[in-house]
Amino acid sequence: MNKFGSIILLVFIYSITNITMTQAGGETRSLSAEVLWEMKRIGSPVISPDGRWVVAPVTRYTTDDDKSHTDLWLFATDGSVERQLTVSGFADGQPAFSPDGSQLAFISRRDQDDSSQIYLLPVKEPGEATRLTEVPTGVSAPKWAGSYIYFITRIWPGKSWEEMKEQVKKDKESKMSAHTWNALPYAHWDTWIDEERQAHLYRIPAAGGDVEPITLPTGWELPRSSQGPSSYDVAPDNSWVAFTADSQRDGVDPEMDIFLVKPGSSDALNITPDNEASDSNPLFSPGSRYLAFNQQRIKGFYADTRRLVLHDLQTGRQREVTGDWDRSADGLVWMPDGSGLYGAIDDAGTRRVYHIDIAGRSPRPVTGETDYSGLSVSDNGALVASNQSFLYPPRLVVVDTGNGHTRRIDTINDDILSNVEMGTYESVTYKGAEGNDIQMWVHYPPGFDKTKKYPLFLLIHGGPHSGISDGFHFRWNAQTFASWGYVTAWHNFHGSSGFGQEFTDAINPDWITKPYEDTQKAAEWFAGQPWIDETRMVAGGGSYGGYLSSILLGKEHPFNALLIHAPVYNFYSQMASDFAVHSTRFGNYWEDPSIYRELSPHYYAENFNTPALIIHGQLDYRVPVGQAFELFRTLQSRGIDSKLIYYPDENHWILKPNNSLYWYSQVREWIGKYAAPGGK
């Protein structure tokens, strides 16, 4: 198989131990939106130190009350155990095993809790979960090192815990709803940021005791916009804590660096002061000798290649491990002997497990097809992961790191999918802009008959640097679209991640030319297939995909109608976003307005003539909802058939069950209006 795969048909045949297409005597059904919401969703697994047990959060949804319910489940790595571990009714998550594997720490918000707290549960014997923390500001991202459990909480500096408890109560009871800012950042995705609060790292003895600040004494806070498990790490021997912080203290153009501090000290050392771009994801080696972290080189380019760098804690020297590798080193976990790491790598349309040797040998792919993520490794080297494909949702597997073979250890969703008839899919390559190879995933409806002609639904992914890989997508499920009677496709146009630095950065700052041409060429490729009806073509996407769809409105294209979700439509009013496009790297509007005039879809409005369905959520602060209203008014003013769906309680994505069901139904109705489904 070449780099992109020539034309590789991936028809998955499910065995009795996995997912069968039919049940004896039972009727089959399609992968409808309703089926998507019946499924449980498995989160990232955590393996016990001895390699015997795996714990993962499992979320189910109930459409009658529009709620989610997340519990922790226990699985044996030999497949002999699968059972719910925590009690239903609470949001349980973020599990972490104790170093000896006897206990499990996790985050929950139970009966008497005003905010999320750390709970402890015995693993090797029956017992009830007991609360460890009483932090009024809530806790997240727990990590267990030695006899301590570390966690993140967002505090009011200068206030005691009792004062913070009163402040939380006061804010909860307040009838005043205003937010006030004097500086950036003010929001992140769907969350307003309280500038009076800071995110800091603390620890507490696992046996109970006083909470101890780690980062607060240093004067450095964790990134204001978002924090999580990748924001910090703790050396196994508790000698060092590494964390990320904005060394410029600048909410406009932050410079994220890696800092080291000894627990109990107020002196934090910036170990990446000379790199202006982002340094992130610190990870200590098992022997506490090295600190691995990601380093980017282009300031203001979030999709720049993330290189793996090692910092020697004994000598202070640093070296780049993956300098000659044209992939980002993501999803990393150390091997127990410290000789290397495993990573879940975005690699040409597939997220594969790779072995990365710290001695400098070339990274080696461990797995082949389908996507892997959420890697976790035990002290004896057992590797578990979440595995998914376009044809099945995430499930848990043990990975043989020698030959890449996997063994599934769960049966979640098998009962639901046992009578669901799936279509098929394949990876194809066509020539796009400048004659470059473009990889594309093509999905065929169940019962696809190549002697008939089918309509096309071409999907345009977001980002724009978020390549589509071989994974299950609940919000934009290509197999669901295909089940309606459409050949459905995702093309990884210029700018997509996973195909190397040059390919990813090829569209900056010009977001239009190459992706637009790649999209046109994709449509031409389909028009040349005997099983496509070129008179029944529709397209659409969300976020950047909504942006490029808005560009299509003003340019020639073969599509009868467009779906435009959360679009960037007006680059000037996009300044209201929590993230200003291009400003850090290429300058602000007042510095070079020509870039933005050339790129902004609203300047092409005089050419709009394609019917469009526009969808947006009020709580979207990444692409503010006004973008959709501006576009809708433009289309209506030009007399173009258009429809606006507005969600007052959704963000950049449609996340609630009933809202999602309506989204799918409206998309189906819209594209069916302009491209009748089914083979003819």
pLDDT in tens, 462-520: 999 999 999 999 999 999 999 999 999 999 999 999 999 999 999 999 999 999 999 99
Query: Of 299, 275, 297, 380, whose CA–CA distance to 53 is shortest?
Result: 380
Q: How far is CA 62 from CA 36, 270, 465, 656, in A?
A: 12, 47, 33, 10
Q: What is the pLDDT of residue 216?
A: 98
Say whether 170 sits in a helix, a strand or coil.
Answer: helix
Q: Is the pLDDT confidence value at 262 over 60?
A: yes
Q: How confident is the model at residue 13 (pLDDT cuts 50, 70, 90)?
A: very low
Q: How much is the average pLDDT of 259-270?
A: 98
Q: Is the pLDDT confidence value at 17 over 70?
A: no
Instruction: Please say whether the beta carbons of 73 and 40 come within 8 A.
Output: no
Q: Is the pLDDT confidence value at 369 over 50?
A: yes
Q: Is the pLDDT confidence value at 580 over 90?
A: no
Q: Which token pair is 363?
A: 């990274």
Q: Is the pLDDT confidence value at 8 over 90?
A: no
Q: How confident is the model at residue 27 (pLDDT cuts 50, 70, 90)?
A: confident
Q: Is the pLDDT confidence value at 165 over 60?
A: yes
Q: How much is the average pLDDT of 555-584?
A: 95
Q: What is the pLDDT of residue 360?
A: 82
| CA–CA gap between residue 347 and residue 366 (Å, rounded) | 12
Query: Of 189, 312, 212, 311, whose CA–CA distance to 263 is shortest?
Result: 212
| CA–CA gap between residue 130 and residue 185 (Å, rounded) | 37
Q: How far is CA 176 from CA 167, 169, 170, 556, 621, in A?
A: 14, 13, 11, 50, 21
What is the b/e burial string over 566-578, where b = at least 16 CB atoms within 10 angstroms of the residue's CB? bbbbbbeebeebb
Instruction: Please say whether the beta carbons of 474 and 394 come within 8 A.
Output: no
Weakest-pLDDT range from 80-84, 241-245, 249-253, 619-623 = 249-253
Per-residue pLDDT tens digits for 288-299? 999 999 999 999
| CA–CA gap between residue 108 and residue 131 (Å, rounded) | 9
Q: Is the pLDDT confidence value at 638 over 50?
A: yes
Residue 476, Cβ density class (10 Å: 0-12 exposed, 13-18 middle, ≥19 buried): buried
Q: What is the pLDDT of residue 18?
A: 37
* Residue keyed to tokens 């002999």: 80
Q: Is the pLDDT confidence value at 679 over 80?
A: yes
Per-residue pLDDT tens digits for 89-146? 778 999 999 999 999 999 999 988 899 999 999 997 778 899 999 999 999 999 999 9
Q: What is the pLDDT of residue 407?
A: 98
Q: Is the pLDDT confidence value at 63 over 90?
A: yes
Q: Is the pLDDT confidence value at 680 over 90?
A: yes
Per-residue pLDDT tens digits for 183-227? 999 999 999 999 999 999 999 999 999 999 999 999 999 999 999
Q: How much is the average pLDDT of 372-382?
A: 98
Q: How much is the average pLDDT of 384-403?
A: 98
Q: Which residues contact 444 (CB under 8 A, 6 or more apart)?
A: 423, 424, 425, 426, 482, 487
Per-residue pLDDT tens digits for 444-470? 999 999 999 999 999 999 999 999 999
Q: What does the CA dihedral 64, 67, 72, 78 come to, rounded to 10 degrees?
A: 50
The residues facing 437 across adjacent strands are 431
Q: What is the pLDDT of residue 26?
A: 66
Cα 186 to chain centroid distance, Å, stands at 22
Instruction: Please say whether the beta carbons of 392 and 19 come within 8 A.
Output: yes
Helices (H), 316-440: 414-417
Q: Is the pLDDT confidence value at 2 over 60?
A: no
Q: Is the pLDDT confidence value at 173 over 70?
A: yes
Instruction: Please say whether the beta carbons of 458 and 519 come within 8 A.
Output: yes
Q: What is the pLDDT of residue 487?
A: 98
Q: Is the pLDDT confidence value at 416 over 70?
A: yes
Please provide the average confidence, as pLDDT, over all residues in the chain: 94
Q: How much is the average pLDDT of 28-46?
A: 97
Q: Is the pLDDT confidence value at 4 over 50?
A: no
pTM of the predicted model as reported, rounded to 2 decimal places: 0.94
Query: Of 403, 376, 402, 408, whose CA–CA distance to 389 is shortest?
Result: 408
